[in-house]
Structure 1
């Protein structure tokens, strides 16, 4: 009887500890990855945070976050575009501050005033709105873009600073925007389900007095399931100071990222997704 009680308490503690910031994507929000297989360890930073991005008690995408550089490494989602307004409110991730904070993303003001969070603790845990003020030649660049989602809540979920990097403003509003809105639409013709992983390669420069890294490159990859037996894939990469996007195969992007990171071979999707 005592053993059963201890088991019940243990299970309860695990459930209560289940949060936005998780220990792995495989066990918490694997649905955003092709065949529930996240990228390998080659992209993981020294102080990583695995975030199942949760808004109003629903998961919308997954983000691997670099706590030291205060930028996302990548965001993974399903491509499901639809009409609708672009949100304007920016959110932060409470659980990067600690497990006692809310499990769903919140506005800075709400977190600081309604949940007794401190600005200093928030600043230490992640990028904040102040970091992105008074930028020159850069703006807040989504990895997972709001336009790739079908309703207001899913678009709102992308407006978290854990999904944002300092991006060259000409690239963000030019060639990258064209890829997100035009190329993706063409490439996904005939796809039943399209899995997307968009990432940022850390650079040597920072904004906000050294707080937030400016990536050297922005990249995107997609694996499309046409049917049970047919898949196709594509990828792009852009230097984060030029208004130019290079179209690649998935295999080419993985090789380029392996060189840029200087470590183990990068693998973004399960091997069943074509590399050529």
Structure 2
């Protein structure tokens, strides 16, 4: 009996060690958050999934996913920019279908074939590529953008459907792109390490016959370590039907999100990040 108990405990530990869809970020992939502190619970949806985004043999970022609305609530990563040549197809998250599946993101066709899963089963668990076909006035908008990473594997890892939302086309190629490419470059001058959390506020509209929510706002926040004793932070928010971005302090964004999330106080980073 004791031997059986030990084997069960051992098997449980091995299972927990290989999970990608996890119960919290703090014990699984905390390295993507400043001082290993994720945003507080104010942003959590009713049906959440915490995903340590795994590609190949490595974790590259973290995503809190809304299973019901089929969009990410936020993605968190460390900023390491370069240009982004895109070649590989979009991928999905197998463990949203079931924890017995592979922890690494996979191409849809590969997963359906090797996992013996139907497209309906996959679509019941998350957004699929078909949801983003024939969009009008909208793009597949990355939260964690390809161009904020500096090697091919980390770039490819951003092309998972659990990291995108329906984003206003003009915003995505206009003011938001300018923020990602130019403002971030300017703001991170002198930074040793920059932690980023980018998110989407759920809206009242949907695409794909009500399957995937179109966010009302897209936002981004950053906390930069200049050295051991100095940090700086900034944030932006954009309405997801206009080509404009509003630059805010970190505290300003947290206050705005608190309003949008019905008064639940929002904290995006550890308290050591300056709010003003």
Structure-1-length-normalised TM-score:
0.97
Q: For 1:200 and 1:87, how far apart are their aligned partners in 2? A: 26
Q: For 1:88 and 1:105, how far apart are their aligned partners in 2? A: 13
Match status 1:258 vs 2:263 = no
The answer on whether the counterparts of 1:50 and 1:62 sit within 8 Å (CA) in structure 2 is yes
Aligned residues: 275
Match status 1:9 vs 2:8 = yes
Instruction: Look up the match of 1:196.
Output: 196
Q: For 1:263 and 1:39, how far apart are their aligned partners in 2? A: 16
Q: For 1:189 and 1:223, how far apart are their aligned partners in 2? A: 13
Instruction: Look up the match of 2:149.
Output: 149
**4+ long deviations beyond 2 Å:** 2-9
Report the alpha carbon displacement of residue 264 of structure 1 after superposing the two structures with TM: 1.5
Q: Which deviations, in whole Å up to 9, do the C-alpha atoms of 1:81-108 show, x marking residues without a partner?
A: 1245224410000000001111100011
Note the residue ranges of structure 2 that are not aligned, 5 or more in a row.
none
Note the residue ranges of structure 1 that are not aligned, 5 or more in a row.
none
Q: Which deviations, in whole Å up to 9, do the C-alpha atoms of 1:102-127 show, x marking residues without a partner?
A: 11000110011122111111010000
The answer on whether the counterparts of 1:87 and 1:159 sit within 8 Å (CA) in structure 2 is no
Report the alpha carbon displacement of residue 5 of structure 1 after superposing the two structures with TM: 5.8
The 5 A counterparts of 1:8-87 are 8-17=7-16, 18-87=18-87
Report the alpha carbon displacement of residue 35 of structure 1 after superposing the two structures with TM: 0.3
The answer on whether the counterparts of 1:176 and 1:245 sit within 8 Å (CA) in structure 2 is yes
Instruction: Look up the match of 2:211.
Output: 211
The answer on whether the counterparts of 2:84 and 2:146 sit within 8 Å (CA) in structure 1 is no
Corresponding residue SS for 1:199: strand
Instruction: Look up the match of 1:224.
Output: 224
Q: For 1:84 and 1:126, how far apart are their aligned partners in 2? A: 26
Report the alpha carbon displacement of residue 192 of structure 1 after superposing the two structures with TM: 0.5
Instruction: Look up the match of 1:186.
Output: 186
The 5 A counterparts of 1:104-183 are 104-183=104-183
Corresponding residue SS for 1:28: coil
Report the alpha carbon displacement of residue 207 of structure 1 after superposing the two structures with TM: 0.2
